[in-house]
Structure 1
């Protein structure tokens, strides 16, 4: 994976200036993460888990060690 460099602007797209070494304004990483999950999986975590084979009767990522 490429090394990412903070730009001084929040990566969620809001345009807020952020401090040196930061990618996001406080809390905006979770906003961006939630938006990505809705876009990719429709309804957050349950759809994400289902798509990857997790859920009732299938364990969770923390329990399915390689």
Structure 2
């Protein structure tokens, strides 16, 4: 019994692949970067520190557990 041979691969086409990103694929990461950069430069605008003390304690406990 003879084994089957693999078919020859087709030659690559000469056409260039046209891939385009939607506008939001570049705009959203850029917007997120700008917002985070603004929070780093002016942390007084980040109002999360004025939250409920229970949430603050929970976050601090999680940070301590992760840093072990």
Q: Structure 2 length as normaliser, TM-score?
A: 0.29
Larger Rg: 2
| TM-score normalised according to structure 1 size | 0.30
Q: Name the structure with the higher helix share.
A: 2
